[in-house]
Amino acid sequence: MSPIVWLGAAVFQLFNSISLGGWLAGYGPTTDGDWAGRYWAMEIGLIVWAWGLLGNMFHDDDLREIRRAADRKQRAEAEKSGKPVEGVDKVYMIPKNGLFQYVLYAHYFCEWVEWAGFCMIGGWKCGPARTFLVNEITTMLPRALQGKRWYEAKFGKEKVGSRKAVIPGLV
């Protein structure tokens, strides 16, 4: 990984954590009166956030399992042939579990759901969370659309089928 990419990610995470922490610690609602009448939105937001987080973890793990299975298979074949394993060749497959039945980038969708839930918890006036959600969608949506074109070129439109890029039934 390029040091510039690593540095950019570290700086982004630093600014994001400072802005969210600042909002939650003092710039957002701080008293019981500020939060009054918002308990239902917070509870529903927490449920939405948790489902998004669990979905994101499930779908990310499903993608990693494709690579882990390929690693196990290539290492077993190398062991049978007596050759040392220096690296594992990348294997590309269309994931099929969970929301991957309907979209190619289910982990993106679940992350958006997760952050929408966080926005509900913090309140729609929580600028840092809202900005983060909008930034995620505007950066990830074009990648998902380009990724769908890549899947169609790599595997064919027949194999991709009716799967959308990122939002089930829509996009």
Per residue in 8-19, pLDDT tens? 889 988 988 898
pLDDT beyond 80 at 82: no
Calculate the average pLDDT of the chain: 89
List pLDDT tens digits, range 18-72: 988 888 787 877 778 877 888 888 899 999 999 999 999 999 999 999 888 888 8
Give the integer Cα–Cα distance in Å for 155 and 93. 9
Global pTM reads 0.83
AA identity, residue 126: C
